[in-house]
């Protein structure tokens, strides 16, 4: 075979294998990262969810990218705002219907656009439920330690001495008594809904004013904000009075209780010189709190506790009794 024909033969063989190699490479070429093979173009799609919670969070929507076979994204919101995030969030200006679009593209430049109209509506305020109090009728029952007492579920030893069981208003062992001249108090934390209005109704009795007495008894009633709890404290709630601890709550000192910034409600009921059981009602707003505390104590004394327990207050000259407490959502 001459050199001329050998060269032509060799060239043909090289050309054949080069063509075959290219076909094989094209056949087994991997798709770019984040996309499916070329036969499947990108498909844009998304879902969305409205924000839940307090304030204007309802205006903020989060978007979940459901696109396939794409490597880059452009979101377009109201007013021409754009985002290239994979899954952005967007705060709309208010109620209304807004157009949101997502353009998904792969590394070959193939695009797909998905568009959705979103109707933004402020949700109705959730129904406010009545708070749950433990032993609100002050029945004599077991407590976490010590003998049974109408004070079960209502003890905070950091703030005052426990009240005593007593009988009255047509029942037996069914009311809580604050002795004259002593530092008796009740305290209980409970859950509320933020920015909600509540009524508190209490039934109380004062003994008639003591003849010649200088220190009439008074009942100090306060609803204390959870925002005023000691740092690091997380409230816990219990099913029965026997489950409740007797100390270690969110309020630990009287100055903390008396801080005006911690009081959602502060009322003083004076002795009416009427020994009947009287009903008194107040209202309060929970503010930003989801936990609050109810605190009541006898005051009006000379500041010298007959029991020498060391609390910086004491009841006046007359006993007083609490028959029940009811807190309801308005």
The single-letter DSSP state of residue 21 is H
The pLDDT of residue 304 is: 82
DSSP per-residue letters across 266-292: EEEEEP-S--S-EEEEEEEE-TT-SEE
CA angle 131, 203, 244 (to 5 degrees): 45
The pLDDT of residue 41 is: 94
In the predicted model, what is the mean pLDDT of residues 16-21? 48
Is the same domain home to 180 and 251? Answer: yes
Is the same domain home to 219 and 319? Answer: yes
The pLDDT of residue 21 is: 47
The pLDDT of residue 3 is: 44
The answer to whether position 213 is within a domain reads yes
The pLDDT of residue 54 is: 80
Is the same domain home to 86 and 193? Answer: no
The pLDDT of residue 231 is: 98
In the predicted model, what is the mean pLDDT of residues 154-163? 97
The phi, psi pair for 286, rounded to 5°, reads -75, -10
Question: Going by C-beta distance under 8 Å and a sequence separation of 6 or more, which residues neighbour residue 155?
Answer: 143, 162, 186, 187, 244, 246, 247
The pLDDT of residue 24 is: 43
- Looking at 89, 120, 151, the residue that finishes a domain is 120
The phi, psi pair for 119, rounded to 5°, reads -95, 115
Is the same domain home to 318 and 188? Answer: yes
- Of residues 38 and 93, more confidence is placed in 93
Q: Which of 284, 150, 308 is nearest to 222 (CA)?
A: 284
Reported as a pLDDT band with limits 50, 70 and 90, residue 222 is very high
Instruction: Report the domain count for the chain.
Output: 2
The alpha carbon of residue 143 and the mean position of all alpha carbons in its chain are separated, in whole angstroms, by 28
Calculate the alpha carbon distances from 171 to 29, 134, 139, 145 in Å.
89, 19, 10, 25
The alpha carbon of residue 221 and the mean position of all alpha carbons in its chain are separated, in whole angstroms, by 25
Is the same domain home to 175 and 256? Answer: yes
Is the same domain home to 308 and 200? Answer: yes
pLDDT at 299 over 70: yes
In the predicted model, what is the mean pLDDT of residues 150-155? 98
The alpha carbon of residue 89 and the mean position of all alpha carbons in its chain are separated, in whole angstroms, by 23
The answer to whether position 5 is within a domain reads no
pLDDT at 229 over 60: yes
Is the same domain home to 218 and 310? Answer: yes
The pLDDT of residue 308 is: 76
Summarize pLDDT for 178-216 with one digit per residue, the tens: 999 999 999 999 999 999 999 999 999 999 999 988 999
Average pLDDT, the chain: 91
Summarize pLDDT for 22-71 with one digit per residue, the tens: 444 444 444 455 555 567 899 999 999 999 988 899 999 999 999 999 99
The pLDDT of residue 87 is: 98
The pLDDT of residue 37 is: 54
Is the same domain home to 167 and 65? Answer: no
Range of the domain at 272: 161-329
Summarize pLDDT for 263-297 with one digit per residue, the tens: 999 999 999 999 999 999 999 999 999 999 999 99
Q: What's the CATH number where 105 sits?
A: 2.60.40.10
Query: Strands 185-191 and 291-299, how do they pair?
Result: antiparallel
* Contact in structure between 169 and 322 (CB atoms under 8 Å): no
The pLDDT of residue 33 is: 52
Reported as a pLDDT band with limits 50, 70 and 90, residue 303 is confident
3-class DSSP state of 146: coil
pLDDT at 312 over 50: yes
Is the same domain home to 47 and 113? Answer: yes
In the predicted model, what is the mean pLDDT of residues 132-153? 97
The pLDDT of residue 72 is: 98
Residue carrying structure tokens 């899954």: 87
Say how far apart CA 47 and CA 62 lie, in whole Å. Answer: 9
Summarize pLDDT for 160-185 with one digit per residue, the tens: 999 999 999 998 999 999 999 999 99
Is the same domain home to 203 and 101? Answer: no
Q: Which of 192-218 are b and which e, b meaning 16 or more Cβ less than 10 Å from the residue's Cβ? A: bbbebebebebbbbbbebeeeeebbbb
Tokens linked to 248: 């270690």
The alpha carbon of residue 243 and the mean position of all alpha carbons in its chain are separated, in whole angstroms, by 23
The pLDDT of residue 25 is: 40
In the predicted model, what is the mean pLDDT of residues 2-10? 48
Cβ neighbours of 141 (radius 10 Å): 18
pLDDT at 10 over 80: no
Reported as a pLDDT band with limits 50, 70 and 90, residue 125 is confident
**Helix, strand and coil in the chain, % to nearest 5:** 15, 35, 50
Reported as a pLDDT band with limits 50, 70 and 90, residue 112 is very high
């Amino acid at each position: 075979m001459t050199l001329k024909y050998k060269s032509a033969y060799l060239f043909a063989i090289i050309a054949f294998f080069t063509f075959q190699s290219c076909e094989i490479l094209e056949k087994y070429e991997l798709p770019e990262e984040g996309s499916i093979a070329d036969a499947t173009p990108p498909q844009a799609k998304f879902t969305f969810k409205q924000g839940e919670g307090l304030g204007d969070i309802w205006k903020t929507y989060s978007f979940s990218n459901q696109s396939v076979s794409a490597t880059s994204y452009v979101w377009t919101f109201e007013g021409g705002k754009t985002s290239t995030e994979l899954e952005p969030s967007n705060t709309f200006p208010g109620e209304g219907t807004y157009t949101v679009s997502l353009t998904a593209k792969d590394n070959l430049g193939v695009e797909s656009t998905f568009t959705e109209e979103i109707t933004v509506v402020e949700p109705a305020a959730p129904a406010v439920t009545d708070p749950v109090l433990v032993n609100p009728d002050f029945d004599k029952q077991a407590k976490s330690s010590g003998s049974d007492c109408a004070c079960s579920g209502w003890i905070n030893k950091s703030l005052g001495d426990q009240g005593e069981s007593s009988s009255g208003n047509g029942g037996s062992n069914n009311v809580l008594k604050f002795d004259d001249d002593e530092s008796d108090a009740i305290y209980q934390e409970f859950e509320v809904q933020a920015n909600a209005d509540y009524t508190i109704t209490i039934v109380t009795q004062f003994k008639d004013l003591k003849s010649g007495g200088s220190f009439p008894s008074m009942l100090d009633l306060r609803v204390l904000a959870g925002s005023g709890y000691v740092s690091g404290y997380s409230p816990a709630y219990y099913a029965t009075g026997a489950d409740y601890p007797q100390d270690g709550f969110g309020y630990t000192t009287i100055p903390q209780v008396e801080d005006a910034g911690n009081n959602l409600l502060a009322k003083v009921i004076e002795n009416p010189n009427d020994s009947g059981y009287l009903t008194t009602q107040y209202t309060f707003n929970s503010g930003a709190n989801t936990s609050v505390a109810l605190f009541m104590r006898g005051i009006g004394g000379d500041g010298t506790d007959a029991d020498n327990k060391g609390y910086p207050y004491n009841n006046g000259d007359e006993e007083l009794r609490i028959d029940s407490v009811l807190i309801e959502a308005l």
